[in-house]
Amino acid sequence: MGPIFEELFMDPSGLARLGRLHTCHGAIDTPCFMPVGTQAAVKALSPEDLKECGAQIILGNTYHLYLRPGHRLIEELGGLHSFMSWDRPILTDSGGFQVFSLAGFRKIEEEGAVFRSHIDGSYRRLTPELAIEIQEALGSDIMMCLDTCIPYPVDEKDAAEATALTSRWAARCKAAKRRKELHLFGIIQGGMSRQLRQKSAEDLIEIGFNGYALGGLSVGEPKEMLFEMVETTRPLIPKRHPVYLMGVGAPEDLVECVSRGIDMFDCVMPTRNARNGMLFTSSGRIVIKNACFQRDPGPIDPCCGCYACRNYSRAYLRHLFMAKELLAYRLLSIHNIHYYLSLMKEIRGAIKKGCLEAWRQAFYRKREELCSGHQ
Amino acid sequence: MGPIFEELFMDPSGLARLGRLHTCHGAIDTPCFMPVGTQAAVKALSPEDLKECGAQIILGNTYHLYLRPGHRLIEELGGLHSFMSWDRPILTDSGGFQVFSLAGFRKIEEEGAVFRSHIDGSYRRLTPELAIEIQEALGSDIMMCLDTCIPYPVDEKDAAEATALTSRWAARCKAAKRRKELHLFGIIQGGMSRQLRQKSAEDLIEIGFNGYALGGLSVGEPKEMLFEMVETTRPLIPKRHPVYLMGVGAPEDLVECVSRGIDMFDCVMPTRNARNGMLFTSSGRIVIKNACFQRDPGPIDPCCGCYACRNYSRAYLRHLFMAKELLAYRLLSIHNIHYYLSLMKEIRGAIKKGCLEAWRQAFYRKREELCSGHQ
């Protein structure tokens, strides 16, 4: 088997890069964005919708699938790909972030995280070994180590302890891994401390993973801090590995972080915002329920080629949204996912041509020029 | 222009028949079932979903579209077909039944129906002339006359008055019609009285419409009474006209009423039941949330070729439904609509072969044989 990640083209900046990530279910072009399919479905979308939008890989949530319907049930039914009828790569997170953000009660112990299920209130213990067991049962192409999330702000001592525990759990995750064909990524923690981030990266690189993620970012810190953490941590990771920035972010964040060397992204923003009627367009964001769209015969974005923009007017989509028609959520989600995936495709094209910086400036200029007219 | 309706083949029974109904947006094979697209969308489904299920025609609700987004807005945007991106025939009801069933307040006057909108509480008056104006603005291929619905049970005098008013309103609807290319159907009322039904049919036939509907049925009366009304009213309508039984019904009702000479049906049952997790199969009904489907790797119905049955297990669909994933509502609605439309296609095939009665017996036998195993 060849290397799991190939760096195909490096931008003149020396940071942004075009790559290819190989998995059991095929290769992924990077930089890439992964739509989030929390409960074995990307909300409101079918696999065909996702493919038409250009999705190469999606993300599943270990925490949710463990609680419902359960990883053993999914395994019995042939694994997550077969269960949800998706034949392209899947990355699953480890559940660490959801324990942190969703569970009604949580206690972090050396052995693992004890928490109360947000579904039925039952007490559960998620250990590094169980996180791997679940992800192997799901048949995830890219598994993530169980990590401990650090709130923001946090005191240095707590951050240091949580970061050290994440390293110990990472070693246990690697030891627990049985299925050689699946990839395992380590998650670099460290809060907003450069020193802790560096220590975390060194620990994980020493253990050795197929790829590395930056976790615990976009948790309420100022944007400059996020960029600083990416800028200072990214260079510590050897070039032969893909680097994944977890849970980030807005389109601008993707543009900025690709320029800082990130290869992979995921975020609920495109689908969640769609369900709230907020749409991304080449000229900025629009809120479909606004009265100005009531009689608007144009598509969401005249520059967009998605199914929703090819077939429906803003007036119709606004009507569906106001009437709470289920079709609205699907059409708006298709548009936003298409926007994100097209953005990444454009970015890859710009890197290939060696003109990412010029593309980036044009991206912002276009929004400035057009934005005011559509808000 | 030729006749709007052609009777192509008469079943040996002399009642069930195969026909073709011509409209501006193409021809429809009858007997047919019309999925209900109340608010300019069949709930959870796209036009492509509907076409893949075999839909030839859909129904829109005048009452809903008048209140939101308004018929003038839809007209501005090119009419209902263009607005919702559906290029096949559309039938719209007149709003009479919704005023009766949905409005917070209603008063029937000679001039029209005064009611309070269920959306914003505003007082509105729907007259026969306005019902036609709305439907012509929508560009409906088949418009319905405004009628007054009769509750069940009702005293004879009220039923007689409402039926007479329906006839006077029907004459006003015909007089108000401007767009020659659109069809207009009269609605036969009369409650559960044979005599009133006969009077209503005679009145409407004398006014003269492109087709005739039986309204005010399936409103809580015993099934035998519904069949009796169909049996006694149907023969009064000349063979050159299509006959539409409004708001009916369950699959068995369709089978029974085709055998009694009905050409067209509509009902929210397939889509509404799908959203509640109740599915129609060749061996009876199933409730997808039942625990027995938790680990079931099979499709909803092994005899079904719909998108949901081709791609997903009962276990997956149950999971989506339990997790309230939006994709569930779409997939289950696709299945139920496909079931209804396939049933009508089978019925047409059986009529063409002259074996509807044998087909009907097999339909019931199959359900009896298989039903118990799946409930």
Strand partners, A22: A27
Whether B84 sits inside 8 A of A44 (CB atoms) is no
| Chains A & B: contacts with CB separation below 8 Å | 102
Best residue in A326, A331, A332, A335 to probe B by mutation, most B CBs within 10 Å?
A326
Q: Which residues of A touch B81 (CB under 8 A)?
A: none
CA-based nearest distance A371→chain B, Å: 25
In this complex, is the C-beta atom of A313 within 8 Å of any C-beta atom belonging to chain B?
A: yes
pLDDT of the residue at A331: 98
- For residue B237, give Cα distances in angstroms to B22, B131, B135, B233: 19, 24, 24, 7
Quote the mean pLDDT of chain B. Answer: 96
Asked if B210 and B4 touch (Cβ cutoff 8 Å), the reply is yes
Q: Which CB contacts under 8 angstroms, 24+ apart, belong to A111-116?
A: A112/A146, A112/A169, A113/A146, A113/A148
| SS3 assignment, position B33 | strand
Which among B40, B315, B326 is the nearest to A43, CB-wise? B326
Nearest CA in chain B to A45: B327
Min distance A104 CA to chain B CA atoms (Å):
18
Residues near A202 by beta carbon (within 8 Å), at least 6 away in sequence: A236
Q: In the prediction, which pLDDT does A102 show?
A: 85
CATH C-level class of B5-30+61-267: alpha beta
**Per-residue model confidence (pLDDT) at position A366:** 86
Say whether residue A319 is in contact with chain B using an 8 A CB cutoff. yes
Output the six-digit token pair for A167: 């390293």
Query: How much is the pLDDT for A100?
Result: 87
CB–CB contact A313 B83 (8 Å): yes
pLDDT tens string A32-54: 999 999 999 999 999 999 999 99
Q: How far apart are CA B132 and CA B209, in angstroms?
A: 14
Q: How confident is the model at residue A375 (pLDDT cuts 50, 70, 90)?
A: very low
Comparing C-alpha atoms, which of A363, A342, A365 is closest to residue A255? A363
Please, which residues have CB within 8 angstroms of residue A183's CB and are 6 or more apart in sequence?
A4, A23, A141, A142, A143, A210, A211
**A 143-182 → B contacts, CB under 8 A:** none
Of A41, A78, A83, the CB nearest to B325: A41
Q: In Å, how far is B70's CA from the nearest CA of chain A?
A: 10
A77 and chain B: CB distance < 8 Å anywhere?
Answer: yes
First and final C-alpha spacing in chain A? 51
Non-local (6+) Cβ contacts of B88 within 8 A are: B25, B26, B51, B55, B56, B57, B58
Does position B373 have pLDDT exceeding 70, yes or no?
Answer: no
Please judge whether B320 and A44 are an interchain contact, meaning their C-beta atoms are less than 8 angstroms apart.
no
Query: A36, A46, A65, A335: which to substitute to probe chain B, counting the most B Cβ within 10 Å?
Result: A46
Distance between B62 CA and the closest CA of chain A, angstroms? 15
Three-state DSSP class for residue B250 = coil
Q: Is the Cβ of A66 closer than 8 Å to some Cβ of chain B?
A: no
Q: Is the pLDDT of residue B159 over 60?
A: yes
B47 contact residues in A (CB cutoff 8 A): 311
Lowest mean pLDDT among A75-89, A97-111, B218-232, B242-256: A97-111
Question: Active site residue: A49, A141, A253, A266, which one?
Answer: A266
Q: Does B372 touch chain A (CB under 8 A)?
A: no
For residues A270 and A37, give the distance between their C-alpha atoms in angstroms, rounded to a whole number. 12
**Nearest residue of A to residue B331, measured between CA atoms:** A46
Determine which one of A93, A253, A263, A301 is catalytic.
A93
Minimum mean pLDDT range among A239-243, A349-353, B148-152, B321-325: B148-152
Tell me the pLDDT band of B370, cut-offs 50, 70 and 90.
Answer: low
pLDDT exceeds cutoff 60 at A119 = yes
d(CA A190, CA A87): 35
Q: For A68, which of B83, B322, B326 is closest by C-beta distance?
A: B322
Task: Note the pLDDT of residue A101.
Answer: 87
Tell if the CB–CB gap between B315 and A69 is shorter than 8 Å. Answer: yes
Q: Do B327 and A46 touch (CB under 8 A)?
A: yes
C-alpha–C-alpha distance, residues A77 and A71, integer Å: 10
CA nearest neighbour of A15 among A168, A243, A180, A209:
A243
pLDDT recorded at residue A371: 53
Q: Which two tokens stand for residue B192?
A: 């559960």
Who has greater pLDDT, A269 or A366? A269
Question: What is the pLDDT confidence band of residue B375, given thresholds at 50, 70 and 90?
Answer: very low
- Across chain A, mean pLDDT equals 96
Question: Chain A window 325-364: which residues touch B at a Cβ cutoff of 8 Å?
Answer: 325-327, 329-331
> Count of CB atoms within 10 A of residue B308's CB?
25
- Are A187 and A162 a contacting pair, CB within 8 Å? no
Q: Which of B36, B150, B64, B59 is nearest to B100 (CA)?
A: B150
pLDDT value for B288: 98
Q: What is the mean pLDDT of residues A316-327?
A: 98
Chain B residue with Cα closest to A275: B326
pLDDT of residue A1: 57
Over residues A64-92, the mean pLDDT reads 98
The pLDDT, as a whole number, for residue B104 is: 75
- Does the model's pTM come out above 0.95? yes
Cβ separation B315–A83 shorter than 8 A:
yes
pLDDT value, residue A241 = 98
Distance between CA A31 and CA A242 in Å, rounded? 9
The answer to whether B258 and B16 have CB atoms below 8 angstroms apart is yes
pLDDT number for residue A284: 93
For residue B78, which residues of chain A lie inside 8 Å, CB to CB? 297
Residue B200 has pLDDT above 70, yes or no: yes
Residue B371 reports pLDDT greater than 80: no
Task: Enter the tokens of residue B251.
Answer: 């699959």
Domain with CATH 3.20.20.105 in chain A: 5-30+61-267
Cβ contacts (< 8 Å) between B76 and chain A: which residues? 295, 297
Contact B170, B203 (CB under 8 A): yes
- 3-state DSSP assignment of residue B119: coil
Q: Where are the beta strands (DSSP E) in B93-202?
A: 106-108, 113-116, 123-126, 142-144, 183-188
Distance of CA A86 to the CA centre of its chain: 17
CA atoms of A60 and A321, how far apart (whole Å): 27
Token representation of residue A323: 């009437």
Q: For residue B96, what is the enclosing H or E element?
A: helix B96-101
Nearest to A77 among B44, B85, B297 (CB): B297
User: What positions of B carry a catalytic annotation?
Assistant: 93, 266
Question: Does B300 contact chain A (CB < 8 Å)?
Answer: no
Classify A104 in phi/psi space as left (phi over 0), alpha (psi -120 to 50) or beta.
alpha
B99-144 pLDDT, tens per residue? 988 877 899 999 999 999 999 999 999 999 999 999 999 999 999 9
Inter-chain residue contact A320 with B40, CB threshold 8 Å: yes
Retrieve residue B199's tokens. Answer: 């009077």
Each residue's pLDDT tens digit, B88-106: 999 999 998 999 888 778 9
Residue A139 has pLDDT above 50, yes or no: yes
Question: Which among B65, B292, B317, B319 is the top mutation candidate for probing chain A, defined by the most A β-carbons within 10 Å of its own β-carbon?
Answer: B319
> Does residue A104 carry a pLDDT above 90?
no
Cα distances from A153 to residues A164, A190, A191, A222, A234, in angstroms, run 18, 12, 8, 11, 22
B244 in reach of chain A (CB within 8 A): no
A311, A319, A331 member nearest B69 (Cβ): A319
Note whether A73 contacts B315, CB cutoff 8 Å. Answer: yes
Listed by number, the residues of chain A in 179-218 with a beta carbon closer than 8 Å to a beta carbon of chain B are none
Q: How confident is the model at residue B374 (pLDDT cuts 50, 70, 90)?
A: very low
Contacts of residue A155, Cβ cutoff 8 Å, sequence gap at least 6: none
- Interface probe, candidates A64, A319, A329, A334, chain B, greatest B C-beta count within 10 A: A319
Q: Check: CB of residue A212 under 8 Å from CB of residue A185.
A: yes
* 3-class secondary structure, B311: helix
B-chain CB neighbours of A319 within 8 Å are 39-40, 68-69, 83
Interface of B with A in 5-44 (CB under 8 A): 39-41, 43-44
- Give dist(CA B146, CA B149) in Å, integer: 10
Question: Are the CB atoms for B190 and B202 separated by under 8 Å?
Answer: no
The amino acid at residue A101 is S
Name the strand (E) or helix (H) holding B264.
Answer: strand B264-266
Tokens representing B346 are 């089978």
**Can you give the C-alpha Rg of chain A in angstroms?**
20
Say yes or no to pLDDT of B184 above 50: yes
Q: Coil, strand or helix: which one is B37? A: strand
Locate B64 and state its tokens.
Answer: 């809903």
Stretch B342-360: mean pLDDT, rounded?
Answer: 97
Among B331, B371, B123, residue whose Cα is nearest residue A326: B331
Cα distance from A331 to chain B (closest Cα, Å)? 9
